[in-house]
Amino acid sequence: MSIAHLFAVPFADFRMEDPEPLSRELAELFLSRETAGDTYRSELRRQTQYGPVFESRFDLFQWPEPPVKRLARFCHLAVAGVLESVSDYSKEELQRLKFNYHAWFHITRRGGYQGLHHHQNATWSGIYCVDPGDQLPDRPESGAVRFHDPRAQADQYMDAGNGRLKPAIRHGAHTIRHEAGTLLVFPSYVSHEIFPYEGERPRIVVAFNCWVPDPT
């Protein structure tokens, strides 16, 4: 018997080595930009965002500050590594590809959250955790990200025949709880939401979209 996972959805998890120094520098920079008000705030007001959520403009990876440049390189190498792993490009073909990015940071304070959404007009998306904020043992879902199964009818009927499938083909949602220095890369079409954050210390993450035009 041969079983092929025909509709698998790739999620890649990366962890930066010794993330604390970079996290401190990024947090200090982002919090200072938050205090500047609309100077660095995105002009787009998303209907899926609720409560105290600060979203920056989308040019973050073009900022000249050294900690941002280090993060941008880390994220780019991650995306390039994912593409190399899941595609049939040769190394020479990969080197000719141009990776374009929109990137921004979120600062979420108590009560802030984001409803169900996906990232349009992109191939890959990522979320890097600068600071997950307060970890609340009695509210483990605080600030967590829940990804939803893109197979719309996959769970239309559930019984013992499909209720205990292995992770690669399991139905339903998957929840991620952030840790500082972790990066999650996933296909941009996957819908996800962020649960209300209940901590006192700000929750700080960087998000990005990547698109890769066909080489000419």
Residue 120 belongs to a domain with what CATH number? 2.60.120.620
Q: What is the pLDDT of residue 152?
A: 85
Number of domains in the chain: 1
- Domain, as residue range, for 31: 12-150+171-211
Inside any domain, residue 162 = no
Inside any domain, residue 187 = yes
Inside any domain, residue 48 = yes
pLDDT (tens place) for every residue of the chain, 216 residues total: 998 888 889 999 999 999 999 999 999 999 999 999 899 999 887 889 999 999 999 999 999 999 999 999 999 999 999 999 999 999 999 999 999 999 999 999 999 999 999 999 999 999 999 999 999 989 999 999 999 999 888 888 999 999 899 888 888 899 999 999 999 999 999 999 999 999 999 999 999 999 999 886
Inside any domain, residue 49 = yes
Report which of 110, 4, 95, 135 is spatially closest to residue 51, judged by C-alpha positions.
110
Bridging pattern class, strands 113-117 and 49-50: antiparallel
State if pTM tops 0.75: yes
Separation CA 9–CA 150 (nearest Å): 9
Inside any domain, residue 165 = no
Inside any domain, residue 161 = no
Inside any domain, residue 84 = yes
